[in-house]
Chains A and B, each alone.
Chain A
Amino acid sequence: MNHPDRKFWWALGCLSGVYVLLLAMLLLADLQYASLLRFGSLLASPTLRYSLWLSLISSLISTILAMWVAVPLGYLLSRAHFRGKAILDAFVDIPIIVPPVVIGLSLVILFRQSILRPVDDWMPIAFHVPAVVIAQFTVVTAFATRTMRSTFDDLSPRQEQVAMTLGCSRSQAFWAVVLPSARTGLLTAGTLAWARAFGEFGPVLMFAGAIEQKTEVLPVSIFLQLSTGDIETAVAISLVMIFVAVSVLLIVRSAVGSKAI
């Protein structure tokens, strides 16, 4: 490494270091505040164990559902040309633009005061477990779609065109050529969607309520602990969330990094 380059890397390192240091200090401060004794009693509590289980399962479900929508929608927005595309493009961004709590409130109104009321009366959704998934799905799909769209935008359409010239149908080209080249984008969209769903709070609180052992996901548990002044437990739950989320992201990324997918 020659001299001017070293300076460049040093500058990068310093600027990045500020942020990494901030995160590290946040984590350390949390650890110091939460006192380790709490983790034992926390993990023994059935309420928390249920919240963790519900958070994991519901976020996985909404991620899979979100990807099933985000991939086709992102591809459509990237490759297809149709009237009103600009409007659709902006429309899909609504969940990114509005505050999350607005999504929750709108879901409540849709299911309880509007056209979906008969459905909800027949099969309870609002303030039941499915509401957790729907709330997460609604928000997370927008983020995954945005990511998939820019992934497809960055891929040159040439490859698909070549595949089709060689006799592939549009669908065959999509499965055999486009998706494998979009591998990194798929991974980013999936992990982003999952992480977002795992931590989603506002819409879940509004649409699913905070019902103990039923619709209480971890972010809601944190909110409830704060509302009774138990900051230590709230911080301890946050640390459990951080640990779980970081482990999942590391495992997924290393599995994909090793080209297993």
Chain B
Amino acid sequence: MFRYQKYATSSLVILAGLITALAFGPGRGGFRQSRGPTLTLFCAAGVREPIREVIQQFEAETGVTVETRFAGSGVLLSSLRLEDADLYLAADRGYLEQAQKMGLTSRMSPFARQHPVIAVTKGNPHHIQSLQDLTRDKIRVTLPDPERAAIGRIAKQLLEENSLWEPIWQHAILQRATVNDVANDVKLESADVGIVWNTTAAQYEELEGIEVPQFQSADSEIGIAVLESSAQTELAEKFIGYLLKESVGQTIFQKYGYGVIAPASSGVTP
């Protein structure tokens, strides 16, 4: 046997070893994965922190495993056309309504709310007080894209009512696909101000959210829906119940700065 034939043979042995390691190793991917029921949740990446806490408690209490796919609400919506899942959690009601139109789901439960604020770095070094300040010279503005991010759509709608959209949009140096990209711009000081959710501002230690009257009453609802492709709707409903429960989901989301929607008023809307 030639030396390089020996190398080739040993590469196969190593390969077998590595595959075995992967199959029987740690994590949920291998053969040792829990054989109990598993729910698949497609979840807006922005709510990752609170939803992780909810899932941890849910898994500990029920023994059900929740597998979560995180991405932007819009990206998840397109993925849902290609694959099956049990639950879809979107950062804005609009996406859930779209999902309904596509026939992916028939019901939805809004459970938390948030509204836009102006994001600045802690201490507000540029003294931003109102939306008019966003058109000031030498203020570098980063905005969420109304075509791609829920916050952008809402901000545009609200600003247009005050004829402020065009001047601010023209003045902006960056247009971003997600709210976190906008917040990251301000955090990294690539821009001086941005428009983000109040909850986004609260999650960033380095940022401060400036409340303005035009935005305060404009709540966007975060909601969750059981998908038509789910083969375990009862279990999925159970998770939603858990999320809506005052002592669990609502408390956790409140801790992260979200406004909560009482289950009675949200219920399960058709």
Contact = CB atoms under 8 A, between A and B. Distances in A.
Contacts of A211: 28, 67-69
B184 A228 contact: no
Given A57-B18, A68-B11, A228 B46 contact: yes
Given A67-B11, A127-B83, A214-B28, A176 B180 contact: no
A127, A179, A229 interface centre (most CB from chain B within 10 Å) = A229
Interface string A127-141: 111000000000000
A202 to B, nearest CB: 12
Interface stretch (A35-43, A87-95, A105-113): A105-113
Interface stretch (B2-10, B120-128, B261-269): B2-10
B82 interface: yes
Contact of B29 (A54, A64, A205, A229): A54
Contact of B26 (A50, A65, A205): A50
A214 B67 contact: yes
Given A61-B19, A213-B27, A231 B188 contact: yes
B45 interface: yes
B48 interface: yes
B142 interface: no
A224 interface: yes
Interface in A137-181: 172, 175-176, 179-180
Contact of A61 (B15, B30, B183, B200): B15
B210 interface: no
Given A68-B11, A112-B83, A228-B180, A213 B28 contact: yes
Interface in B163-187: 178, 180, 183-184, 187
B71 to A, nearest CB: 7
B70 interface: yes
A50 B33 CA distance: 14
A65 B19 CA distance: 12
A226 B11 contact: no
Nearest to A227: B45
Q: How large, as a class, is the contact surface on chain A?
A: 35 or more
B178 A126 contact: no
A57 B69 CA distance: 22
B21 interface: yes
B22 A180 contact: no
Contacts of B49: 228
A196 B52 CA distance: 31
Contacts of B215: none
Contacts of B7: 261
Contact of B25 (A53, A61, A67, A226): A53
Nearest to B11: A64
Given A60-B18, A67-B11, A215 B2 contact: no
List the 5 closest pairs (A to B, CB-CB), nearest first.
A129-B29, A227-B45, A179-B4, A175-B2, A214-B28
26 contacts: A54-B29, A57-B18, A57-B22, A60-B14, A64-B14, A64-B18, A68-B11, A109-B82, A126-B83, A127-B83, A128-B29, A129-B30, A175-B2, A179-B4, A205-B71, A210-B70, A214-B28, A224-B45, A227-B46, A228-B46, A228-B48, A228-B49, A228-B203, A229-B183, A229-B184, A229-B200
Given A127-B69, A212-B68, A229-B204, 4 more contacts: A109-B82, A211-B67, A214-B29, A228-B45
Interface of B: 2-5, 7, 11, 14-15, 18-19, 21-22, 25-30, 45-46, 48-49, 67-72, 82-83, 178, 180, 183-184, 187-188, 200, 203-204
